[in-house]
Structure 1
Amino acid sequence: MKIAAHFAPAMHALVALTLCVGVLAPSRSHAEVTSPVLAINDEAGKADITVVPLRGSLSVLMGSGGNIGVLSTPDGKFLVDSGIAVSKPKLKAALDGLSALPPKYLVNTHWHWDHSDGNEWLHAEGATIVAHDNVLKRLMDRTRVIEWGYTFPPLPPGGLPTVTYPKQKTIDFGGETVVLTNHGGGHSDGDTAVYFKKADVLQLGDIFWNGHYPFIDYGAGGSIDGMIRWVDISLKRSTEKTIIIPGHGPVGNRAQLAEYRDMLVAVRKKVSALKKQGKSLSEIVAEKPTAQFDAKYGDFVIDPAFFTLLVYMGV
Structure 2
Amino acid sequence: MTSQYSQTAPANRRAFLKTATAAVTIPTAAALVGSTLPGTAQAAEPTELPDFAPVPAGATGPALNAEGYFVGRINGNLYWVTDSYYQAMFLSTREGVVLVDAPPTIGHNLLRAIADVTRANGRPSKVTHLVYSHSHADHIGAANLFGKDVVRIAHSEARRLLLRDADPNRPIPTVTFDDHFDLHVGGERLQMAYHGPNHSPDNIFIHAPDHATLMVVDVLYPGWVPFKNLAVSQDIPAWVKAQDVAMGYPWQTLVGGHLGRLGVRADGDVQKQYIADLTASTKAAMSLDPTPYFEKYGQMGNSWAIFKTYLEAVAEQAAAPVVAKYTGVLAAADVFTTDNCFAMLESLRIDAGILGPFSTRP
- TM-score past 0.5 threshold: yes
Quickly say closer, same or farther: Cα 1:268–1:219, change in 2 above 3 A.
closer
Q: 1:82 aligns with which of 94, 99, 102?
A: 102
| Residues 298 and 157 of structure 1: CA distance in aligned 2, closer, same or farther (over 3 Å) | closer
Once the two structures are TM-superposed, the CA of residue 283 in structure 1 deviates from its matched residue by 0.8
1:312 aligns with 2:345: yes
Deviation, 1:64, is 7.6
Match of 1:110 in 2: 134
Q: 1:160, 1:108 → 2: CA distance?
A: 10
CA contact (8 A) 2:229 2:342 kept: no
**Native 8 Å contact 1:121 1:159 kept in 2:** no
Relative distance call for 1:158 and 1:224 in structure 2 (3 A) is closer
Q: 145, 163, 167: which one pairs with 1:155?
A: 167
Q: Which amino acid letter does the alignment assign opposite residue 88 of structure 1?
A: G
> Residues 275 and 131 from structure 1, CA distance in 2 versus in 1: closer, same or farther, beyond 3 angstroms?
farther
Residues 286 and 194 (structure 1 numbering): CA distance in 2 closer, same or farther, change over 3 Å?
same
**Are 1:283 and 2:313 matched, yes or no?**
yes
Q: 1:110 to 1:217 in 2, by over 3 A?
A: farther
CA 177–133 in structure 1, closer or farther in 2 if over 3 Å, else same = same
SS of the equivalent of 1:268 reads helix
Whole-Å separation in 1 of the counterparts to 2:67 and 2:343: 28
Using the size of structure 1 for normalisation, the TM-score is 0.73
Shift, 1:274, TM fit: 2.2
For structure 2, the 5+ residue unaligned runs are 1-35, 44-65, 119-123, 291-309, 349-362
Q: Displacement, 1:68?
A: 0.2
Distance 1:97 1:211, change over 3 A: same
Contact in 2 for aligned 1:188/1:218 (Cα 8 Å)? no
Q: 2 CA distance for matches of 1:102 and 1:201?
A: 23
Q: CA deviation at 1:182?
A: 1.3
Normalising to structure 2: TM-score of the pair? 0.64
Equivalent in 159, 164, 169 of residue 136 of structure 1 = 159
- Map 1:184-263 to 2 at 5 A: 184-215=196-227, 222-238=234-250, 242-249=252-259, 250-263=261-274
Q: CA deviation at 1:235?
A: 1.4
Structure 1 residue identity aligned to 2:192: L
Question: Which of 121, 140, 144 is residue 120 of structure 1 equivalent to?
Answer: 144
The Cα shift of 1:157 comes to 7.9
Equivalence for 1:94: 113
Rounded to whole Å, the distance in 1 between the matches of 2:208 and 2:238 is 23
Task: For structure 1, list consecutive stretches of 5 or more residues without a partner in the other structure.
Answer: 1-27, 35-45, 143-153
Q: Note if contact 2:222-2:264 (Cα within 8 Å) is conserved in structure 1.
A: no
Q: Distance in 1 between matches of 2:265 and 2:230?
A: 26
What is the SS of the residue equivalent to 1:159?
coil
Shift of 1:277: 5.0
Q: Deviations over 1:18-50 (max 9, x none)?
A: xxxxxxxxxx9xxx796xxxxxxxxxxx97111
On the 8 A contact 2:142/2:169 being kept in 1, the answer is: no
8 A Cα contact 1:132 1:182, kept in partner: yes
Displacement of 1:186 in angstroms is: 1.3
Q: 1:61 to 1:278 in 2, by over 3 A?
A: farther
% same residue:
19
Distance 1:76 1:111 in 2: 24
**Residue 151 of structure 1 corresponds to which residue in structure 2?**
none
CA-based RMSD? 3.1
The residue type equivalent to 2:83 in the other structure is G
> In structure 2, how many angstroms separate the alpha carbons of the residues matched to 1:80 and 1:309?
32
Aligned to 2:178: 166
- Name the CA shift for 1:164/1:278 in 2 (closer, same or farther; >3 Å): farther
Cα distance in 2 for partners of 1:103, 1:236 equals 30
Question: Offset at 1:216?
Answer: 7.4
Aligned residues of 1:168 and 1:182 also touching (Cα < 8 A): yes
CA distance in 1, matches of 2:273, 2:184: 34
Cα distance change of structure 1 residues 196 and 231 upon mapping to structure 2, 3 Å threshold: same
Q: Distance in 2 between matches of 1:162 and 1:200?
A: 27
Q: Is the 8 A contact 1:119 1:160 kept in 2?
A: no
Task: Please give the secondary structure, in 1, of the residue aligned with 2:182.
Answer: strand
Paired residues of 1:75 and 1:174 also in contact (CA < 8 A): yes
**Bigger Rg over Cα:** 2
Q: Could you list the per-position Cα deviations for residues 193-248 of structure 1 after superposition, in whole angstroms to 9, with x for gaps in the alignment?
A: 10012111111111111122224789997333212211112212225xx2111121
Query: Residue 299 of structure 1 corresponds to which residue in structure 2?
Result: 332
Deviations 1:141-188 (A, max 9, x none): 34xxxxxxxxxxx31286221211112111112222211111112111
